[in-house]
Amino acid sequence: MEFRTKLTLFSLLLLSANASDNGLALTPQMGWNTWNHFGCGISEDTILSAANAIKQHELDKLGYNYVLMDDCWHAPARDPSTNAPVADPEKFPNGVKDLSDKIHAMGLKFGIYSSAGTKTCAGRFGSLGFEEIDAKTYAEWGVDYLKYDNCNNEGRAGTPLISYERYNNMSMALNATGRPILYSMCNWGEDGPWNFAPNIANSWRISGDIYDNFARYDDRCPCTSMLDCKLAGFHCAAARIIDFAAPVGQKAGTGHWNDLDMLEIGNGGMTHDEYVAHFTMWAILRSPLILGNDVTNMSNDTLSIITNQALIAVNQDPGTGPANRIWKKEVFTGDGDISLWQGSLQNNVFVVAVMNTSPHNQTVDILMEDAFLDQGAAYQAQPYEFFDLWQKDSNGNWGKSIGTVQGKFSVTVNT
């Protein structure tokens, strides 16, 4: 068997599991966010145009139902009498409540952004010390989702408890509103949020900001592991974030997810195969899938990647969690690596992926002994029907059966 992408992905079918939790994000949230493509250049129009594009492309039917307004929606200052947050009256002449109503009228959900600091990352007023009034106002505005950033935290980081308390203050404030608001922590993996965030948030970022590049090391994302990283930074390539995610998958599950950051598909910095690998790994690692491109102007290629229903089904499989990395092997010293990942879905379906970050084509044997390491000998010995999730079946649906495998199979993963 040979495959032509940077990543080889299979789904394997055999036999049943289930779990549940109350509240939101029972499966990872999906949607679109203004930041990666528009940065501070947002307005009511930007957001409504994107919402219209989501409806037009029926992305919401696939699960992309959160429309998220990131940084720079703010007026220069809070309301001087009440301290309530105020939106920029020029960018949002009808106010945030009106925007939220329009989004809701389209059957979509609406999200907002703030920072657990004195200012946001772009220098707007932050929520540190204003958690209650902010949460209350968001609820009044009909907000369904809060992305809560980490800039300008005034030294309130460096030990788990200090980060926990800063983020828990907003968690409690959101809960106190009585409105269900998905709480998306964005503290860049500082102080090990996977250890404390599951009890207070629906998702937490695990690294510095992604940039539109597959595997390049950049000095601005300096840590080689996030377990005790003191400068999360930004310009983290997709493959580096995947590395960061490998040990912490164990901490995610129903209602609380590792957030690998927003998707870059369609922003132009990676090849088709790299974007396929990016989308696949985000999906099987159960990251929130938040589009970061201009959805009003997408190529067919971009659209085809982000609408792979088979991968979305893996990402949204209920009651199950992230894939694990079974092994990772350096190909040539300092030259990238090849790795095997496996995840369990409901009903004895499994997903297996092989990723190659090196500039060399790689042919490897995948042993069922490895792929079913966690499941044990009985599973390792079974035959499996294989589906290639990046091929379409005869009905034009993603996921084509490519035969039965037992014991092992060989794959070639291109550069």
What residue ranges bind its own copies (CB under 8 A)? 118-119, 152-165, 168, 191-192, 194-196, 198-199, 219-220, 222-223, 225, 227-231, 233-234, 246-250, 268-269, 324-325, 328, 376-377
Nearest distance from C-beta of residue 395 to its own copies, angstroms: 37
**Dihedral angle computed from the Cα positions of residues 97, 102, 106 and 112, in that order, rounded to the nearest 10 degrees:** -40
Output the CA–CA distances (angstroms, integers) from residue 169 to 147, 185, 325, in the order listed: 14, 12, 34
User: Does 317 participate in catalysis according to the annotation?
Assistant: no
- Residues contacting residue 69 through CB under 8 Å, at least 6 positions apart: 34, 42, 47, 96, 99, 110, 111, 112, 113
Active-site entry in 71, 149, 191, 388: 149
Rank residues 227 and 381 by Cβ distance to its own copies and give the closer one: 227
CA nearest to 210, candidates 333, 41, 60, 33: 33
Kind plus residue range of the DSSP H or E element containing 7: strand 7-13
In angstroms, rounded to a whole number, what is the distance separating the alpha carbons of residues 167 and 146? 12
Q: How far is the CB of 59 from its own copies (least distance, A)?
A: 26
CB 336 within 8 A of CB 277: no
Of 209, 212, 261, 294, which residue is the catalytic one?
A: 209
Place of tokens 């690692």: 285
Q: In angstroms, what is the minimal distance from the CB of 369 to its own copies? A: 11
CB of 392 to its own copies, least distance (A): 31
Q: Say if CB 126 and CB 115 are below 8 A apart.
A: yes
Identity of the residue, 110 or 211, whose beta carbon is nearer to its own copies in the bound complex: 211
CB of 191 to its own copies, least distance (A): 7
Q: Which is nearer to its own copies, 160 or 319 (CB)?
A: 160
Assign 3-state DSSP to the chain and report helix, strand, coil percentages, each to 5. 30, 25, 45
- Compare residues 99 and 338 and give the one whose CB is closer to its own copies: 338
Q: Which distant-in-sequence residues (6+ apart) come within 8 Å of 273 by Cβ?
A: 4, 5, 6, 7, 414
Helix, strand, or coil (residue 287): coil
- Report the distance separating Cα 188 and Cα 150, nearest Å: 7
User: 85 or 117, CB closer to its own copies?
Assistant: 117
Q: Tokens 């979509």 appear where? A: 108
337 Cβ contact partners less than 8 Å away, ≥ 6 residues apart: 328, 329, 330, 331, 356, 357, 358
Q: Which amino acid is at 222?
A: P
CB of 4 or CB of 220, closer to its own copies: 220
* Residue 209: active-site member: yes
CA distance 73 to 121: 12
Q: Which is nearer to its own copies, 144 or 190 (CB)?
A: 190
Q: How far is the CB of 163 from its own copies (least distance, A)?
A: 7
83 — alpha (psi -120 to 50), left (phi > 0) or beta?
left
Tell the smallest beta-carbon distance from residue 242 to its own copies (Å): 12
Task: Give the active site residues.
Answer: 149, 209
